């Protein structure tokens, strides 16, 4: 019987992002989980991408969404959060937080990407 394969944190490849001359943040990583644990997970991926981090109930989230060229939402399942070694995917959200975030992201949907697991093509 084989054990499940878990992607290592280094499996997430990134491109270094830089703030544009217009002051726009290239990447905003938003954790669907609306607490300090979600923010910590978002900060891990934001550091890799050279972007900014927030969680779904950050006070100025709407302004930050408008100022970002790309928004990545971290939303791992509870099982994924338990099985992964990648600290960016260890904070699952509940259904209510996810629904709230979906409504807040609706005007920006063309720039939003949801990540539920480490992705080599990030």
Tell me the pLDDT tens digit for each residue of 43-89: 999 999 999 999 999 999 999 999 999 999 999 999 988 888 899 99
Residue 52 CB partners (closer than 8 Å, separation 6+): 25, 27, 28, 29, 46, 64, 68
Identify whether 7 is part of a domain.
Answer: no
Q: Are strands 68-74 and 25-31 parallel, antiparallel or unpaired?
A: parallel
pLDDT of residue 24: 62
Identify whether 16 is part of a domain.
Answer: no
Count of the separate structural domains present in the chain: 1
Label residue 107 by pLDDT band (50, 70, 90). Answer: very high
Identify whether 80 is part of a domain.
Answer: yes
Domain around 101: 23-115
When the pLDDT of each residue in the chain is averaged and rounded to a whole number, the result is 83
Identify whether 14 is part of a domain.
Answer: no
pLDDT of residue 119: 72
Residue showing tokens 């939402």: 73
- E strand segments, 20-121: 25-31, 52-55, 68-74, 112-115
Label residue 111 by pLDDT band (50, 70, 90). Answer: very high
Identify whether 4 is part of a domain.
Answer: no
Identify whether 11 is part of a domain.
Answer: no
Helices vs strands, H then E, count in the chain: 4, 4
The answer to whether residues 77 and 35 touch, using CB atoms and an 8 Å cutoff, is no
Identify whether 10 is part of a domain.
Answer: no
């Amino acid at each position: 019987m084989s054990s499940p394969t878990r992607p290592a944190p280094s499996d997430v490849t990134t491109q270094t992002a830089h703030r544009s001359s217009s002051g726009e943040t290239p990447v905003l990583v938003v954790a669907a989980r609306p607490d300090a644990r979600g923010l910590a997970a978002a900060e891990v991926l934001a550091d890799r991408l050279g972007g900014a981090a927030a969680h779904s109930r950050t006070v100025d989230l709407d302004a930050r969404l408008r100022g970002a060229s790309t928004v990545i939402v971290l939303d791992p399942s509870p099982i994924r959060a338990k099985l992964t070694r990648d600290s960016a995917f260890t904070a699952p959200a509940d259904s209510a937080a996810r629904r709230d975030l979906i409504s807040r992201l609706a005007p920006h949907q063309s720039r939003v990407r949801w990540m539920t697991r480490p992705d080599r093509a990030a």
